[in-house]
Amino acid sequence: MTGPSSGGPDAETKMQFLYALRSRGVTDKRVLNAMETIDRGRFITGIFADRAYEDMPLPIPCGQTISQPSVVGLMTQALQITARDKVLEVGTGSGYQAAILARLARRVYTVDRHARLVRDANAVFQALGLVNITAMTADGSHGLAEQAPFDRILVTAAAEDPPGPLLAQLKIGGIMVVPVGQSDAVQTLIRVRRGENGFDYDELRPVRFVPLLEGLGKDGS
């Protein structure tokens, strides 16, 4: 059985979920382990709950989406997180990605422009005992100045360019992963590394994300 109230996927469903991740390039053992531990079904409610273990994005409240599991895995892998890292995620959404990050990093800050999503995600973090995540309502295109700088930054909404304030809040030696491109066109997942002398960019793969919008959201929209 699947779904949020069933205590997680059965063994067969879990095996297929992990197989799909591996076959799409998620090979990092620590990432696979984190994704095996965090039950995606806890982050999806309503009519789509029984599809939680399929490798597809699904609708969540406020007109947003929970990302495809293999994309979550590939982005997490690209961040090369270590156990000492302080991570910022922009775009809490369901909270699923933040929960995976929290299994790998020391501390995770995640922000979303929709207060309702932050409230729901916080309830799940609490239920799962994930005490190293702080979720807040904020416009993440400005980053989170009071907690900066960050070792790693993950943006899970598409910007036209990597936002300047986020680049500024990345530590030297830090890594940021961000989907870049027009909201209605194909976007590219970019990895930015900050070195002593500036930023290096590499293109990872085509992706499709909801847009990074300015300002706070009206709940329900």
Q: Does 76 bind ligand SAH (CB under 6 A)?
A: no
| Distance set, CA 124 to CA 14, 39, 119 (Å) | 20, 11, 9
Interface region with ligand SAH, contact rule CB under 6 A, candidates 3-11, 126-134, 183-191, 208-216? 208-216
Q: Give the tokens for residue 210.
A: 């909801």
Peptide bond just before 149 cis, omega within 30 deg: yes
101 vs 84: CA distance, rounded Å: 12
Place of tokens 């940021």: 176
Q: Which is nearer to ligand SAH, 70 or 141 (CB)?
A: 141
Computed from CA positions of residues 59, 185, 136, 219, in that sequence, does the dihedral angle turn out positive or negative? negative
Collapsed DSSP state (helix, strand, coil) of residue 15: helix
State yes or no: residue 91 binds ligand SAH (CB under 6 A).
Answer: yes
Does position 26 interact with ligand SAH (CB under 6 A)? The reply is no
Contact flag: residue 213 with ligand SAH (CB under 6 A): yes
- With contacts defined by CB under 6 A, name the span among 1-9, 26-34, 106-114, 167-175 that binds ligand SAH: 106-114
Using CB under 6 A as the binding rule, whether residue 93 contacts ligand SAH is answered as yes
Q: Does 117 bind ligand SAH (CB under 6 A)?
A: yes
Q: How far apart, in whole angstroms, are the C-alpha atoms of residue 178 and residue 206?
A: 11
- The residue within the footprint of ligand SAH, chosen from 65, 80, 132, 183 (CB under 6 A), is 65
Q: Is 31 in the site for ligand SAH (CB under 6 A)?
A: no
152 neighbors 105 (Cβ within 8 angstroms): yes
Active site includes 67?
Answer: yes
Q: Should residue 120 be labelled a site residue for ligand SAH when binding is judged by CB under 6 A?
A: no
The C-alpha torsion from 21 through 26 and 29 to 34, rounded to 10°, is: -60
**Amino acid letter at 77?**
Q
Choose between 67 and 122: whose C-beta lies nearer to ligand SAH: 67
Comparing C-alpha atoms, which of 135, 77, 76, 139 is closest to residue 110?
135
18, 49, 52, 66: which one binds ligand SAH (CB under 6 A): 66
Is 70 a binding residue for ligand SAH by CB under 6 A? The answer is no
Which candidate in 67, 70, 94, 141 is catalytic? 67
How many other C-beta atoms are found inside a 10 Å radius of the C-beta of residue 183?
Answer: 15
Binding residue (CB under 6 A) for ligand SAH from 76, 94, 122, 187: 94
By the criterion CB under 6 A, which residues form the site for ligand SAH? 64-67, 90-91, 93-94, 96-97, 111-114, 117, 139-141, 156-157, 210, 212-213, 217
